[in-house]
Structure 1
Amino acid sequence: MASQTGENQQALHRITDMTRLISILILALHFYYFFYGVFAHWKLVSVFSDRILSNIYRTGLFNGFNRTKLIALGFLLISLMGAKGKKEEKLSVKKGFIVIGIGTFLYFISQVFVGRNSDLVMISLSYMLITVSGFCLVLTGGTLLSRVIHLKMNSKDIFNKENETFPQEQRLLENEFSINLPARYHLKDKVHRSWINIINPFRGLLVLGSPGAGKSYFVIRHVITQHIKKGFSMFVYDFKFDDLSVITYNTWLNNQDAYQIVPRFYVINFDDLTHTHRCNPLDPESLLDITDAAESARTILMGLNREWIKRQGDFFVESPINFLTAIIWFLRRYQDGEYCTLPHVIELMQVPYDKLFTILRAEKEIEVLINPFVSAYLNDAMQQLEGQIASAQISMARLSSPQLYYVLSGSDFTLDINNPDEPKIICMGNNPQKISVYGAVLSLYVTRLIKLVNKKGKLKSSLIFDEFPTIYLNNMDSLIATARSNKVSTTLGVQDFSQLRKDYGKEQADVIMNITGNIISGQVTGDTAKQLSERFGKIMQDRTSFSINRMDTSVSKSKQLDSAIPPSKISALSSGEFVGLVADNPEQKIDLKAFHCEILNNHQALKGEQDSYQAIPEIRKLDQAMVIRNYMQVKQDVLDIVEFEMEKIVDDPALQHLIIKKG
């Protein structure tokens, strides 16, 4: 094949050279015929040449002065079409055409010398010299054009934007659980309307985006409003209270006809006690066995000591958890849980060791938990004991405040939001300036709530967590994995995967990321953008490559699979612009699951709606004296419990062996 190509190229060069030679020959005949007298004066004529010239004359070639010149120029241009010059990057098409234009001008302007009453030899020489100069300039210009490098690149798409577009779902797919967000996207150079159809929110929804990307405004608020309109019971973790809580409250007010039994609306807010309900996260009816107490103890201590999350299993992490578990379960068993609240747990932990260990030993179910601490105390291993217990006492002491005690010691409602008989919508507010304290308590609330919600035979419910890493939920991946069959929708708002890894540890963060079926991401960078790009997959894209050698420029076009949404594009998303992937159902298939679009919010309508919102009403009148009185009552309750239990043990000979007396 190569040899055939070489022969064809060689034949082309021969044809080009022959055509150019014909052009020169015709121009020479033009000079010889029209200036025959000059050639005769120079004695450059003969009988043989005259005979040939007369034969050519009969063909009509010399009918008109410019006819031969035009024919010669035509052959020259034909020869230039096959010219192959040495390529140079600095040459331009404009320069070649300028030289050709000057040459053509000289080639025909030389005719002005013909017919002048001057020396015939001078006229002839001037005419031929100017005509040949024009001819040579046309030849030079054509050669320059053949040496120009022609690269037909699409300069309008220098960032490969159009090549990385792909078809997206344009149908509106709804069901009784779905979240549907209107959007628009680019396909090549056209804009199309589309829909982000989260038709199965029970497979989990992860909303990513750096601050200002629009997570709450473009996504989370619509999850809240659409799920309430579809009759969901709901829990909303409002990191910057009351941004989402006001939306939830007003949507609930305006859509109560969506429910068979209208849910009650509750708020937990530690900053303004007149606008909060009271709820006991350690409600004794929800603590069915000691494992529930252990889970609650782990949640509260992990929330207070986030670095412990990565050290689970260590002796000095598990020991405080066991100690707190024993305290919680003791209060759960004492008088059927009448004093089983977190404030009572905190105060009981501060009781002196000899009395505390004595009354705890009286409860058989926690004896195995408390024995290591008793042994360390009796053997004067105080350094070890302090290492085991003091870390729990110090951490829990941070929660000792009248405001927290007031909210945590009451019981206005229970956390079973999807109870068919008493559905609820609960908003819990955090304060970014008090994350370390409030976050731990809210983590306990949510852990207990999830335990109650994730059961069969309940109503459909929606759990929404804004800034999810600011609270700690143990086994969050299990909730997402198992809650689908129980109709529990989970929405997690996260700024970046690195934030999730920092607060939850790499293993659990990776599991949460990979187990989530629906992902909507605004602008993120680094490893997060890379992982998302890999998850979105690849599409077939056009590729054009150019090869420049000494004599030619070759263009190669191909198609290859490349990232549908590269990391650089995810890192440069504008506010309101999102990429993502949705999950589908067996009965509602979605072929085009990936998307890269701009979510369309009706800004004026949302602003008008927001301006008409009612503030969350005051729940109760309250003064500081009532809060302090409740605080002191909790402390007195614990003193009474210790005093009563010690008297009972001292007065009962069968229990006196439990009394700890350190010699």
Structure 2
Amino acid sequence: MQTGENEQALRRVIDFTRLLSLGILLLHFYLCCYPAFRQLGLSKPIVNHILLPLTRLALFQNTWLAKLTVLILLLVSLAGSKGKKDEHIRTRTIVSYTLSGLFLYFVSGLILTFNSSGLALAALYITITSVGYILILSGISLLFRRLKLALNQDIFNKENESFPQEERLLENEYSINLPAIYNLKGKVRSSWINIINPFRGTLIGGSPGSGKSYFIIRHIISQHIQKGFTMLVYDFKYDDLTKIVYNNLLKYAHHYRVEPVQYIINLEQVMHRANPLEPHTMLDITDAIDSSRTIMLGLNREWIKKQGDFFVESPINFITAIMWFLKKYEDGRYCTLPHVIELAQVDYKELFGVLLQEPEIEVLINPFVSAWQNEAYEQLEGQVASAKISLARLSSPHLYYVLSGNDFSLDINNPDEPKIVCLANNPQKSQVYGAVLSLYINRINKLVNRKNQQKCSMIFDEFPTIYFNGIDNLIATARSNKVAVTLAVQDYSQLKKDYGRDQAEVIMNIVGNVICGQVTGDTAKQLSERFGRINQQKESVTINSTDTSVSKSTQLDHAIPASTIASLSSGEFVGLVADDPAERISLKVFHNEIQNDHAAIQQEEMAYQAIPPVREIDQDMILENYQQIKQDIKNIVNFVFLNS
């Protein structure tokens, strides 16, 4: 126990041991250099009577043994001594003092081998030995006072923030498994990112260049095709993902019970054609409302934050009425988005006369008719013009051609007709194309989220560039229907800008699996809080005028701080995976570097086959279809007025 009495007793023992060491050294000097002391008149009979008998002791009969005994006692006394710790004492100083002292201390014994008893040799021997003794004393004292701190060795606290991660490969018929390495207390270990339940939603985040597509999305595509998933892929930068899908399907198509067919919706270079407003899939007017809301909010992204406003809901109701009229007219023969666009451009008198023929939309169209009949033209223009202007941006022969065809149905996870659909966008025209592709996604969402269908994977690269109405509902309810949703975003702020704060928070919080590369700001802070805290060692040093103390403690701190997430390298990801009741994962949080076989991927890409053209078309066919749609609307208006 460190009481005052014990410390005083220890100090006395140390002092006595050091004094004994010094006494033996002085006695050694007297006995070895006795002729010199006698010559100087420093020897006394009484002293000789006491000390000279000691020469018969074995300790003093051997010079080296006496000096070694002195050195051992000195070391013992220094080992128990206390002094003010100093972090500025250098190892070089300690080593130089100690080695120099040992050299002088022991080499001085050679002087005694000379056959001379002169004062000069005795003085030289005592001086050199004493200097060596003092140097040893100084060097060893510095050694025990040296404060060795490891505080600055890990300046970014990486080792302290490391934690155990999942090293098992956990596979099942739905899983996504990514090999990785991680750091645990300075040691590199192998690990796996096991997304064993992708149906709980997967969010992939990371700034441009962080490796979302190269390290993650390409593996999700290939692994899900190997496991027999039907698939919807939103390819923002066509044909980066579509080419991966096409070549993996060529390789693994035999894994399916019924071999799937790949369809590509490309609004620029016509591939396949499909009608997102298939009349037989619109079961009631709520489907028309969803489609109308999707296309209008997709064309006017600022409206997303203003839903419920009069001048937002009015255009949506207006387009809904047109859609439902075309769905009911001649069993939906003309129920396509191009026909909706053209019918919206008809003069009010003819338009309202046509729409009033359908009783089910009378409630929707009544406010517009009343404004027209009461000659409230400014109000009417405010209600309708924004819809007409927005839709006019879609009046393109190429768009009309793709949207009015019927190469395939949108029930992509039909077990009897499985499909893999790729939606191609162009970053330079993403605002217009994104709205149309959003409509496809909305309709596919309605059809895939049903029971007894084939497992389906929906992958959205650069998700904020489209408007997906009801994405939160899909993630929340589609798990039981085996629909896996993967969303790739660059940052939470991007999602918040395009979807609004409330919707962005729901999307961020509802997904079960999160994989994120380098992000900053609020995104990094939210993720850091989500990953939780771990016990970390903390060290502190207190230096005052009399003593230096080092204290160590443990405290809970962020497992992955926001600053760490903001400085991740390409290919380095942090995240959290969700487990399954049948397959538990205790180590859900990870911070690792995904391992890609770059040479194998490069070789695989070099062997990729180009996507073949689907059909041979010319500009005349596209223009003919464009004119035919316009003529269809004229025929509908003329027929209604002739029979009214």
With the length of structure 1 as denominator, give the TM-score of the two structures. 0.90
8 Å contact from structure 2 (residues 278, 336) kept in 1: yes
| Mapped pair 1:314 → 2:309 | yes
1:6 is aligned, of 4, 21, 33, to 4
Closer, same or farther in 2 for the Cα pair 1:79/1:217, shift >3 Å? Answer: same
> Unpaired segments of 5 or more residues in structure 1?
650-663
Partner of 2:395: 400
Provide the C-alpha distance between the structure 2 equivalents of 1:469 and 1:58, rounded to a whole number of angstroms: 98
Q: Higher mean Cα deviation, 380-389 or 181-190?
A: 181-190
Q: 1:12 to 1:503 in 2, by over 3 A?
A: same
Residue 528 (structure 1) shift? 1.9
1:256 Cα shift? 3.0
Instruction: Quote the residue 1:137 is aligned against.
Output: 135
For 1:555-607, what per-residue CA distance to the aligned partner results, in whole angstroms no more than 9, with x for missing partners? Answer: 44444433333333333333333322222222222222223333333333333
**1:406 Cα deviation from its structure 2 partner:** 0.9
- Contact kept, 8 Å, 1:346 with 1:397, in 2: the verdict is yes
Looking at structure 1, the residues matched to 630 and 231 of structure 2 have their Cα atoms a distance apart, in angstroms, of 35
Tell me which residue corresponds to 1:458. 453
Once residues 35 and 457 of structure 2 are traced to their aligned partners in structure 1, the CA distance between those partners, rounded to angstroms, is 107
CA gap of 1:56–1:495, structure 2 versus 1, over 3 A, is: same
Distance apart, 1:164 and its partner CA = 3.1
Q: CA deviation at 1:481?
A: 0.4
**CA distance in 2: counterparts of 1:529 and 1:144, whole angstroms:** 47
Within 1, Cα distance between the matches of 2:215 and 2:467?
25
Give the drift of 1:168: 2.8
Paired position in structure 1 for 2:221? 224
Mean Cα deviation higher: 618-627 or 568-577: 568-577
For 1:118 and 1:243, locate their aligned partners in 2 and report how far apart those are by CA, in whole Å. Answer: 96
Contact 1:264/1:425, CA 8 A, preserved across alignment: yes
2:616 maps to which of 605, 615, 621: 621
CA contact (8 A) 2:166 2:193 kept: yes
Q: Secondary structure at the match of 1:62?
A: helix
Q: 1:87, 1:549 within 8 Å by CA — same for their partners in 2?
A: no
Q: Per the alignment, do residues 30 and 471 of structure 1 end up closer, same or farther by CA in structure 2, a change over 3 Å counting? A: same
Distance 2:499 2:65 in 1: 90
CA 215–58 in structure 1, closer or farther in 2 if over 3 Å, else same: same
TM-score calculated relative to the size of structure 2: 0.93
For 2:549 and 2:84, how far apart are their aligned partners in 1? 14
2-structure distance, mates of 1:12, 1:57? 32
Tell me what 1:91 maps to: 89
Q: Give 1:581's match in structure 2, choosing from 565, 576, 584.
A: 576
Report what 2:381 is aligned to: 386
Task: Classify 1:551/1:104 alpha carbon distance in 2 versus 1 (closer, same or farther; 3 Å).
Answer: farther
- SS of equivalent residue, structure 2 residue 486: strand
Partner of 1:255, secondary structure, is helix
Cα deviation code 1:610-655 (max 9, x no counterpart): 3333322222221111111111111122122222223333xxxxxx
The letter for the 2-side match of 1:625 is: D
> Structure 1 residues 152, 458: CA separation in 2 closer, same or farther (over 3 Å shift)?
closer
**Aligned residue among 236, 240, 261 for 2:258:** 261
Residues 134 and 413 of structure 1: CA distance in aligned 2, closer, same or farther (over 3 Å): closer
Question: Does the CA-based 8 Å contact 1:84-1:551 persist in structure 2?
Answer: no
Q: What pairs up with 1:8-407 in 2 under 5 angstroms?
A: 8-40=6-38, 43-108=41-106, 110=108, 120-152=118-150, 155=153, 157-273=154-270, 276-407=271-402
Per mean C-alpha deviation after superposition, the further-off stretch among 167-176 and 204-213 is 167-176
1:26 counterpart letter in structure 2: I
Match of 2:564 in 1: 569
1:498 aligns with one of 493, 511, 531: 493
CA contact (8 A) 2:36 2:117 kept: no
Identity of aligned residues (%): 61
Number of equivalences: 644
Give the Cα separation in 1 of the matches to 2:482 and 2:113. 103
| CA offsets 1:373-401 (integer angstroms, 9 cap, x no match) | 22333334333222221111111110011
User: Which amino acid letter does the alignment assign opposite residue 28 of structure 1?
Assistant: L
Structure-2 separation of matches of 1:367 and 1:149: 88
Tell me how far apart the structure 1 counterparts of residues 554 and 595 of structure 2 sit (CA, whole Å): 33
TM-superposition CA deviations, 1:322-349 (whole Å, max 9, x none): 1111121122222222211111111111
Q: CA separation of 1:10/1:196 partners in 2, compared to 1, >3 Å: closer, same or farther?
A: same
What residue number does 1:655 align with?
none
Q: Distance between the aligned counterparts of 1:611 and 1:62, measured in 2? A: 87
Q: Is the CA contact (8 Å cut-off) linking 1:268 and 1:278 kept in structure 2?
A: yes
Read off the aligned partner of 1:492 and give its amino acid letter: L
Q: 1:113 to 1:405 in 2, by over 3 A?
A: closer
| AA matched with 1:535 | R
Name the residue aligned to 1:517.
512
> What is the Cα-based RMSD across aligned positions, in Å?
2.6
Distance 1:355 1:218, change over 3 A: same
Range with greater deviation from structure 2 (628-637 or 258-267) = 258-267
* Mapped partners of 2:626, 2:91: distance in 1: 89
